[in-house]
Amino acid sequence: MQELILDIVRLILEKVRDSGGAAGATALSSEADGRRIDARHYYQLTGCVTQYTSVNLILWTIFSIFAAAHALLVTALVTSLGDQGKIIGDHPHIAVWLSLVGLLAAFAWALLLRRTIGHLVWHQKLVERIEASLGIEPQYQMFPARLPGREPGQPDTSRLPMWGYGPPAKIVMQICSGLTALGWLCVLIYFLRC
């Protein structure tokens, strides 16, 4: 993905350099069809690609932090139990509180993931629109909407081989947060009944 972003930036910089530089350029000439393109679209594209990359990093950071937090909560829950699965010590309600905190954290995790994925999709659609307005060839687009022999919405497996190996990470992240919430709910119900 980083190589693709660098290729797009190089293409944009070449277009700006060929037009006489960024300082006075308001329009760029396309040598293929002779049309003039507003240089601001190129700058918008670089900004959008940067924002997409930043939001993607934020998404993975949120996922990692919450996964680590849930691992710590599970560890605390397991260490509070004795050999027989019963609460040990003077605080019998500690498992209920830990599972309640885990459940609330799982809901917060799911909401943050949903919001961040929404921003990621918005940036992706914005990049697609700018690329379409610039007339960038599909092999240079970050998210090609249509390539020959491929239906709309079908991933380009020739350019990005990782697409063919399973569901997208955005879906897996949301499933993980949902299953975590379900797990904590089951643990909470179990300890409330004990």
Residue 184, pLDDT score:
94
How far is residue 76 from each of residues 95, 98, 105, 126, measured CA to CA in Å?
9, 8, 15, 44
Write out the DSSP string of 110-143.
HHHHHHHHHHHHHHHHHHHHHHHHHT--GGG-SS
Write out the DSSP string of 43-67.
HHHHHHHHHHHHHHHHHHHHHHHHH
Residue 161, pLDDT score:
44
Better-predicted residue by pLDDT, 6 or 153? 6
Residue 139, pLDDT score:
74
Q: Locate the domains of the chain by residue range.
A: 2-193
Tokens of 146: 């249509």
Tell me: pLDDT of 185 over 80: yes
- Which residues have a Cβ under 8 Å from the Cβ of 144 and sit 6 or more positions away? 138, 156, 159
Torsions phi, psi for 81 (to 5 deg): -95, 150
* Cut 0.75: pTM above it: no
Tell me: pLDDT of 68 over 90: yes
Asked whether the beta carbons of 77 and 187 are under 8 A apart, the reply is: yes
Average pLDDT value over all residues in the chain: 77
What's the CA angle centered on 51, arms 177 and 60, to 5 degrees?
25
Q: Classify residue 177 by burial, with Cβ atoms within 10 Å: 0-12, 13-18, 19+.
A: buried
Band of residue 9 on the pLDDT scale cut at 50, 70, 90: low
**Separation of alpha carbons 144 and 135, rounded Å:** 12
Tens of pLDDT along 118-167?
999 898 888 888 888 888 777 777 776 544 455 555 555 555 444 455 67
Residue with tokens 């293409």: 11
**Pick from 13-17, 53-57, 100-104, 116-120: least confident:** 13-17
